[in-house]
Amino acid sequence: MPYLFTSESVSEGHPDKIADQISDALIDHFLAFDPQSKVACETLVTTGQVILAGEVKSSAYLDVQDIARKVIRKIGYTKSEYMFEANSCGILSAIHEQSSDINQGVDRKDKEEQGAGDQGMMFGYATNETEDYMPLALDLAHKLLQELAELRRENKEIKYLRPDAKSQVTLEYDDNNKPIRIDAIVISTQHDDFDTEEKMQEQIKNDIINILIPRIKTKYSTYANLFKGEIKYHINPTGKFVIGGPHGDTGLTGRKIIVDTYGGKGAHGGGAFSGKDPSKVDRSAAYATRHIAKNLVAAGVCEEALVQVSYAIGVAKPMGIYVNTYGTAKVNKTDGEIAKIVEGIFDMRPYFIEERLKLRNPIYSETAAYGHMGRKPEVLTKEFVSPEGKRIVKEVELFTWEKLDYVAKVKQAFGIS
């Protein structure tokens, strides 16, 4: 029987995402000046205020206020009427030194025996229902908001948009678990004040359906065939949305973990990513399991894969690796046998994850909005300036866990021609 499945996304101007982006900007600066930095940094944003807290072991000294303001400015909080503005918001730092008790469990004389920064289980997921091996509903939800942000920055076709926004996409699947059409789209976007609420609702709904949606269908033509039948649109369904961002809701690092991963498909171990250096397996192992799942599906081992890994704090070797192919395996092996082969291909000790995916580089700011998974790997040059004027220019590779660089190894291991 056909069924419906829903995923949501939030924009870069959502309060929780502002917090994520500030935390990851701090991570990038610490790693740029000291690649061995150990950082766990949390951010809280509210009306006119940013609070930074966390633990750091690093030789780098940063102007955290300046870094936070630049992030807020880039997102678009540059007007006093937003009640949260880059130049005027207060910024309080309560960042202190990392516990030596934790550090002794992570650092080792032999780098290869580096212990996991915490206990826990992490999941990676991949499906062949999109070109980037991501769940379709989440992929669409992200793209709607990315395009809405482009319209806001262009400030031509739609001139009243403010940075805060959310989206939600409901898909109809057939009996073979294949998406066949979009059933509903929900978009709530912050906006400037209108003369009347009726005028506001009419204008925004018209612009979303007649400007945003056609741009999506043109830009992502492979999805155009999903826009068929009677799609239910809920545009700013509560009505007025002038008060938004941190003035409307307090934002915290790590509160959008499902948006960051797979939109409710697969599973999640519960650990957030942003604000954590790669010694924290919450982050690095989640990237590594995504890398495994994506390469398994791309190699033709299965159509869908969930990969779990688990750790004990301070212990290098994982407690175990689990694979679930949801009955879609194309090889004559059980999921347990697939997991055993995976264990032989991918070394999941924390040091080897960091090395394989080049994680001790300043690559995290770009992950902090519109999802950590399903993004395009790319190489770019980034520049960082310390409070003393020291300038670091680094060429870095983003989203290395999205590369299909292990497909050949996986095919060989599974005997796939």
Token duo for residue 383: 């520049």
Paired tokens of 238: 């509560």
Question: Residue 319 corresponds to which amino acid?
Answer: M
28 is in an annotated binding site: no
276 marked as part of a ligand binding site: yes
Of the candidates 154, 92, 115, 130, the one whose C-alpha atom is nearest the C-alpha of residue 7 is 130
What pairing do the DSSP bridges indicate for beta strands 49-57 and 38-46?
A: antiparallel
Cβ atoms of 137 and 263 closer than 8 Å: yes
Report residue 158 CA to chain centroid gap: 27
414 among the known binding-site residues?
Answer: no
Residue 70 annotated as part of some ligand binding site: no
Q: Is 376 annotated as a binding residue?
A: no
Is 198 known as a binding-site position?
no
The residue whose two tokens read 């303001």 is 69
42 is in an annotated binding site: yes
Question: Residue 165 annotated as binding?
Answer: yes
Specify which residues 296 forms β-bridges with: none
Residue 402 is encoded by which pair of tokens?
A: 């999205």
Residues 19 and 354: their CA atoms lie apart, in Å, by 24
14 annotated ligand binder? yes
Q: Please answer whether residues 279 and 106 qualify as being in contact, where contact means their C-beta atoms are separated by less than 8 angstroms.
A: yes
**CA-closest candidate to residue 20, choices 253, 315, 308, 298:** 253
- Residue 234 sits at φ, ψ, to 5 deg, of -120, 100
Residue type, 63: D
255 annotated ligand-binding residue: yes
Q: Say how far residue 180 (Cα) sits from the centre of its chain.
A: 26
164 known member of a binding site: yes
Q: Residue 147 has which token pair?
A: 């395009």
98 labeled binding residue: yes
Phi and psi dihedrals of 415, rounded to 5?
70, 35
End-to-end CA distance of the chain: 35
- Residue list for the binding site for L-methionine: 55, 98, 249, 280
What are the binding residues for Mg(2+)? Answer: 16
As annotated, the binding site includes: 14, 16, 42, 55, 98, 164-166, 240-241, 249, 255-256, 272, 276, 280
Known binding-site positions for K(+): 42
Binding residues for ATP: 14, 164-166, 240-241, 249, 255-256, 272, 276
